Structure 1
């Protein structure tokens, strides 16, 4: 987040901090532009650790300007990609703690002081994620179309000659069929939740940590399927082959659609220490 309580003019600069790691390789950042074009990425030492930083115009990162920029989908994607590229470059060779987008300080002195105060947390996070990657897992259950519960005797007649009064008991049959459809829908949902729990438990058995995330509503392109699990897991690099086998086994045993993404920089597991 932008450092608060500071009055800045349009000509003042600020220090944008991407990530914290230990002894990063300078060659890893060659060719990366960061979030601005005219200033190079550089390293800022604080104690035993190093932050990857870039000088930016403070006026470009005021709350008003930043909020307006983030409401533009293209701008949001551009900044998110630039930020992620720098973090990924650092993490390619060293355990790295990513900082949120638009983490800014007034100058190097303030940045160094603030980062030093967080040294204990950074060190704990770096120790936790060393040799680990983040993997995202989403599980979808099929949403079978519900059959028409209306009995034939209650449906509109196709021809005038076919029109007639409902057969005796047709209303009761309609209600029973409707209840049956609802019961089957509920059973499908319960089965999907059991699958989600089984998948989550299986991944946690091989992961160092896991987090359940908010379920996403179905997109128009995903019609016919419902997300029942949205989670992320911190998995040791030495268990990557085991993870691949687990995914194949779960897909075969559950018959559910399981989407796995990664490996990623462990963004989700650096703020829990």
Structure 2
């Protein structure tokens, strides 16, 4: 007996696949109609087990396993695909909770997408519940050379001799001391923000060539924040920036919750999923 076709599927075409963008509870027709897929036409929905996967229909000539391996080596192609994928996930996140899929997760048919929704229903549903009403915000911190922590500011005691010794010691150990001070401030900032947020992740600092900053990044945190508490979170970032002049803080977002989900596939990225 043939399995029923997943709700929302396009007619089966062996030449096309389904690029998975993310999983939501449901999606409005208007969101689908106004959100461009990787190929420029509207994205579409595959529904199963009370969940909805949003996908792009893609030609396997360009998105099949061998083609993906080749294209993922092309930085220009990869950037275009990543931007288009993010645009879809971002549109979904603005409409409600979404579990973003890993980049380049492609299934041969909608049956494979539906199977993910069925097999991982409980996990995906629980994640959507946890993300509901919350947003991911990023905080990046950059070292400020020569800045002195407010708590460590010179008190002016000890006379001219003591002041000279302090200045001389600072000159001799400026680089090492600056790194230590920035690292301690970064840890304190992350701890304070994590205590306010629902969940937090501290990612590895970005290289200067990627961040574009003139000084080293020492904080690269992601924070899941309840929407009603966003104003307080922003105020906390400002307060921490004032408390720690040795690092420059930058608040970014909101972002889809990339840092707080497990992708809706347990298989390796970039592989085309074969139908059962």
- Aligned pairs, number: 230
In the TM superposition, residue 59 of structure 1 has moved relative to its aligned partner by: 2.2
Structure 2, gaps ≥5 residues long: 1-12, 147-166, 265-276
Counterpart in the other structure of 1:262: 253
Deviation digits for residues 212-252 of structure 1, max 9, x if unmatched? 111222239533x2211111111110111101111111111
Counterpart in the other structure of 1:210: 200
Alignment of 1:202-241 (within 5 A): 202-219=192-209, 222-223=213-214, 225-241=215-231
Counterpart in the other structure of 1:251: 241
- Indicate if the aligned counterparts of 1:11 and 1:59 stay in contact, CA closer than 8 A: no
Counterpart in the other structure of 2:47: 45
In the TM superposition, residue 196 of structure 1 has moved relative to its aligned partner by: 0.3
Alignment of 1:104-115 (within 5 A): 104-115=106-117
Secondary structure at the residue paired with 1:109? helix
- In the alignment, the residues of structure 2 paired with residue 126 and residue 187 of structure 1 have an alpha-carbon distance, to the nearest angstrom, of 44
In the TM superposition, residue 195 of structure 1 has moved relative to its aligned partner by: 0.6
Secondary structure at the residue paired with 1:17? strand
Change beyond 3 A, Cα 1:192–1:64:
same
Structure 1, gaps ≥5 residues long: 1-9, 145-176
1:201 aligns with 2:204: no
Counterpart in the other structure of 1:135: 137
In the TM superposition, residue 40 of structure 1 has moved relative to its aligned partner by: 3.7
In the TM superposition, residue 178 of structure 1 has moved relative to its aligned partner by: 11
Counterpart in the other structure of 2:267: none
Secondary structure at the residue paired with 2:34? coil
- Indicate if the aligned counterparts of 2:20 and 2:56 stay in contact, CA closer than 8 A: yes
- Indicate if the aligned counterparts of 1:139 and 1:257 stay in contact, CA closer than 8 A: yes
Larger Rg: 1
Provide the TM-score with structure 2 as the length reference. 0.76
- Indicate if the aligned counterparts of 1:29 and 1:89 stay in contact, CA closer than 8 A: no
Provide the TM-score with structure 1 as the length reference. 0.77
Change beyond 3 A, Cα 1:50–1:272:
closer
- In the alignment, the residues of structure 1 paired with residue 80 and residue 35 of structure 2 have an alpha-carbon distance, to the nearest angstrom, of 13
- In the alignment, the residues of structure 2 paired with residue 178 and residue 219 of structure 1 have an alpha-carbon distance, to the nearest angstrom, of 33
